[in-house]
Amino acid sequence: MIYTVTVNPALDYVMQLKEVTPGAVNRTPSAVFLAGGKGINVSQILNQLGIENTAWGFAGGFTGKELVHQLNRRRIVNDFVTIKQVTRVNVKVHAGQETEINAAGPAIAPAEVAAFGDRLSDLQAGDLVVLSGSLAANLPEDFYQKLLPLIKKAGAEFVIDTTGQALLDTLSYKPLVIKPNHHELADLFNTTFNSEQEMLTCAHQLLDKGAQNVMVSMAAKGGYLITPEHVYHAPAAVGTAVNSVGAGDSMIAGFVGTYVKSGNPKESFRVGMACGAATAFTKDIAVKSQIDAVLPQIEVEQIS
């Protein structure tokens, strides 16, 4: 079983307009509520790939009820802890370009944190937990890190999607895969890359620190997968990017969903690249038909 964790989900209010005039009343012909959050995005792609998963997190108030309703509509199995405070609402305005107004989110009470910890007792050997997304305002910065000993004790694997020191602090627990982009990777080492070889050298250092696999996304230059045995490269798929939200989550979902079935990192990378591109080419998280349309474009080459 794969479990996705979204500790600070949002009910996204998405509005479509031709243009926005500041200081005036703007009316939208189209507006929808969607369940938002990086772990939720991962669950959506896993569903499209036919991979069993459960979404974990916190949800509260009338917005939390609507968020869970949206998950149920999309047939995403979920087991969220009910909290006293209200789940945040994020406003997404699409008017030629994307404008986002994101709320900080609710405070999580200690008893609610403890209830979430109880979810980890369900873990069994062979399970996988995907930890991603921002933390609620009052949660400690090491919230994810404190979960890792419990996950590993159960014999489960984990994937974490974060950056900076928070990412480095998890490497000793041996995440199945991490996915910095090339800018985030450079920042980890306080450097800039003058060549792709310099980038690969730093990626190998993350393996030495404990990561089992490292995916590096490079936008129009495609992506790399670095494993202890090989380095793979895949060019970017050809298409028009219309959405910057969820592509990285989709890439992770494609990788982990395929890996739990096959154990093949090369094929997992190929599917991950296709899922990321498919989401980038649509206004929402990609569906199976869109992923299937992109997949033939992704040709993975072993370069070492």
Give residue 81's identity as a one-letter amino acid code. Answer: V
What is the crossing angle of helices 247-262 and 265-280, to 10°?
150
CA-to-CA dists, residue 107 to 9, 67, 84, 140, 258, angstroms: 12, 17, 9, 11, 35
Given this model, what pLDDT does residue 13 score? 92
Given this model, what pLDDT does residue 11 score? 95
Given this model, what pLDDT does residue 134 score? 85
Q: Taking the CA of residue 64 as centre, how many other CA atoms within 13 Å lie in the half-sphere pointing to its CB? A: 21
Given this model, what pLDDT does residue 218 score? 87
Counting residues of the chain whose pLDDT is more than 70, the rounded percentage is 100
Place of tokens 């090339």: 182
Given this model, what pLDDT does residue 245 score? 78
Given this model, what pLDDT does residue 301 score? 94
Please check the confidence at residue 129 and state whether its pLDDT lies above 80.
yes
User: Given pLDDT bands bounded at 50, 70 and 90, which one contains residue 123?
Assistant: very high
How far apart (Å, rounded) are the C-alpha atoms in residues 49 and 261?
A: 11
Give the strand order in the sheet containing 301-302. 214-217, 223-226, 231-234, 301-302
Where do runs of H (alpha helix) occur along 110-246? 110-119, 143-153, 164-168, 182-188, 196-208
For range 227-246, the mean pLDDT: 90
Counting residues of the chain whose pLDDT is more than 90, the rounded percentage is 81
Pair type for strands 214-217 and 223-226: antiparallel
Of 12, 127, 161, 249, the active-site residue reads 249
How far apart (Å, rounded) are the C-alpha atoms in residues 1 and 56?
A: 12
Q: Which domains does the chain have, with CATH numbers?
A: 1-19+29-130 (3.40.1190.20), 177-304 (3.40.1190.20)
Predicted confidence (pLDDT) per residue in 181-223, tens digit? 999 999 999 999 988 899 999 999 999 999 999 999 988 789 9
Find, among 304, 255, 302, the residue nearest to 275 by Cα: 255
User: Given pLDDT bands bounded at 50, 70 and 90, which one contains residue 98?
Assistant: confident
How far apart (Å, rounded) are the C-alpha atoms in residues 194 and 222?
A: 17
Place of tokens 């380095």: 231
Token readout for 158 is 């984990």
Residue 284 falls in the annotated catalytic set: no
Predicted confidence (pLDDT) per residue in 2-46, tens digit? 999 999 999 999 898 989 999 999 999 989 998 999 999 999 999
Give 303's contacts (C-beta < 8 A, 6+ positions apart): 231, 232, 233
